[in-house]
């Protein structure tokens, strides 16, 4: 690891090139550049998640930590090639003062050549991605609404602000649920006429599951509140022929029940963030099914027909504070 304190973007570029030569890094072996926008207290979490993801998708990891926007402009950087982050090339940049508002000035020269760019917010997602140049410059944008104080409202805002190429880890967290529910119809063609989801009110995965069922089946699922579980507990489908299919979460497993058949236990583990991130990095094209589910959840349509191109909208927090202050 190389540490550079109170440095410049040019010095970081030079140090990364020197470390890559020393470690034998080959830029052509990188699948993508992953920009991670992270709070200081979550840097180690982001590194651990990126290490898991990089095992499947070798990447250049650029971690941006914005701190103390009112202090003196300063850049501190750590450069790691291989080592504790596996095959990833990583630069952890802590930006202070006004520099933090212009992170792209340091990040852009560090992008790996000729590979896609993905931006991942491992913090409360931005209200508008266009306000962050690091989101505008990327082909794929990964948010995590669960990190917001109001996860359901944040997920609905993702629909308002959606552009093709966006995704949210809430969607990734219901992959196994969707697989179990969809698998129930491998041996039947019975039409689903109703659905019930049992979950806490503030669980965004339940709301996105509701949107997915609504968009796929053309029904109006019912969301039933429960305090028995911290996250989505059960999904139940009623079929036109009278059959009932129910998937219930238990400790690391799911109880799969179906009318006329014996109950079965299926794996339903809680996956680490690194596995969720790796899943999203498998595809770099827009996820149309996610767009339809998100739109159905939020009551919006045509999300996948929006332009994938965003125009950066500059927002200065200092000016916003002045505008919002009383005269």
Which among 292, 317, 319 is positioned nearest to 304, based on CA atoms? 292
- The residue to which tokens 């028995």 are assigned: 228
pLDDT band at 319 (very low <50, low <70, confident <90, very high): low
Same domain, 34 and 137: yes
Same domain, 256 and 164: no
Region 252-263: what's the mean pLDDT? 91
Same domain, 76 and 31: yes
Asked if residue 281 is part of any domain, the answer here is no
* 81 or 232, greater pLDDT: 232
Same domain, 135 and 190: no
Same domain, 61 and 194: no
| pLDDT tens digits along 274-303 | 999 999 999 999 999 999 999 999 999 999
State how far the Cα of 77 lies from the Cα of 139, in Å rounded to an integer: 25
Question: Considering its fold, how many domains does the chain have in total?
Answer: 2
| pLDDT tens digits along 259-279 | 888 999 999 999 999 999 999
State how far the Cα of 136 lies from the Cα of 141, in Å rounded to an integer: 9
Which among 262, 299, 280 is positioned nearest to 160, based on CA atoms? 299
DSSP structure class, residue 29: G
State how far the Cα of 215 lies from the Cα of 293, in Å rounded to an integer: 6
pLDDT band at 318 (very low <50, low <70, confident <90, very high): low
Do residues 79 and 106 lie in contact, with contact meaning Cβ atoms separated by under 8 Å? Answer: no
Same domain, 219 and 203: yes
pLDDT at 87 over 90: no
Question: Which of 228, 252, 267 represents a domain boundary (last residue)?
Answer: 267
Look up residue 273 and give its two tokens.
């963030």
Q: What are the C-alpha distances in Å from 58 to residues 46, 55, 100, 164, 188?
A: 15, 6, 27, 24, 41
pLDDT at 252: 86
Residues spanned by the domain of 229: 175-267
Asked if residue 132 is part of any domain, the answer here is yes
pLDDT at 260: 87
Asked if residue 286 is part of any domain, the answer here is no
pLDDT at 321: 47
Q: pLDDT > 70: what percent of the chain?
A: 94
pLDDT at 26: 47
CA dihedral of residues 93, 98, 99, 103 (deg, nearest 10) = 80
Same domain, 37 and 98: yes
Instruction: Give the strand pairing for 140-143 and 117-122.
Output: parallel
| pLDDT tens digits along 162-215 | 999 999 999 999 999 999 999 888 777 789 999 999 999 999 999 999 999 999
Do residues 109 and 77 lie in contact, with contact meaning Cβ atoms separated by under 8 Å? Answer: no
**Distance linking the first and last C-alpha atoms of the chain:** 50
pLDDT at 327: 43
Question: Which of 169, 202, 232 represents a domain boundary (last residue)?
Answer: 169
| pLDDT tens digits along 9-56 | 999 999 998 888 876 654 457 889 999 999 999 999 999 999 999 889
Do residues 208 and 177 lie in contact, with contact meaning Cβ atoms separated by under 8 Å? Answer: no
Same domain, 37 and 138: yes
Provide CB contacts within 8 A for 222, sequence distance 6+.
Answer: 194, 195, 196, 197
Same domain, 102 and 143: yes
Same domain, 132 and 41: yes
β-sheet bridge partners, residue 222: 196
Same domain, 151 and 41: yes
Same domain, 152 and 65: yes
């Amino acid at each position: 690891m190389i540490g550079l304190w109170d440095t410049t973007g040019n010095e970081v570029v030079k140090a990364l090139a020197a470390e890559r030569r020393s470690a034998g890094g080959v830029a052509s072996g990188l699948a993508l550049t992953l920009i991670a926008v992270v709070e200081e207290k979550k840097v180690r979490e982001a590194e651990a998640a990126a290490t898991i993801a990089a095992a499947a998708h070798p990447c250049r990891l650029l971690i941006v930590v914005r701190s103390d926007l009112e202090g003196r402009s300063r850049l501190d950087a750590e450069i790691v090639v291989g080592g504790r982050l596996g095959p990833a090339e990583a630069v952890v940049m802590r930006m202070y003062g006004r520099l933090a508002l212009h992170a792209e000035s340091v990040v852009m020269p560090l992008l790996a050549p000729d590979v896609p760019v993905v931006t991942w917010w491992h913090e409360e997602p931005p209200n508008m991605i266009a306000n962050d140049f690091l989101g505008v410059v990327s082909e794929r944008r990964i948010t995590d609404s669960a990190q917001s104080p109001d996860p359901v409202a944040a997920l609905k805002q993702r629909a308002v602000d959606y552009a093709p190429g966006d995704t949210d880890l809430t969607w990734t967290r219901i992959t196994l649920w969707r697989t179990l529910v969809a698998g129930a119809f491998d041996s039947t063609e019975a039409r689903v006429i109703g659905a019930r989801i049992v979950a806490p009110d503030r669980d965004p995965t339940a709301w996105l599951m509701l949107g997915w069922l609504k968009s796929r089946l053309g029904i109006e699922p019912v969301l039933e509140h429960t305090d028995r579980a911290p996250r989505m507990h059960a999904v139940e489908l009623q079929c036109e022929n009278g059959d009932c299919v129910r998937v219930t979460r238990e400790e690391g497993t799911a109880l799969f029940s179906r009318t006329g058949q014996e109950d079965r236990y299926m794996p339903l583990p809680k996956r680490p963030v690194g596995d969720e991130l790796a899943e999203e990095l498998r595809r770099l094209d827009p996820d149309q099914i996610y767009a339809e589910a998100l739109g159905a959840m939020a009551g919006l349509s045509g999300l996948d027909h929006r332009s994938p191109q965003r125009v950066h909208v500059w927002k200065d927090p200092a000016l916003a504070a002045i505008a919002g202050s009383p005269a």
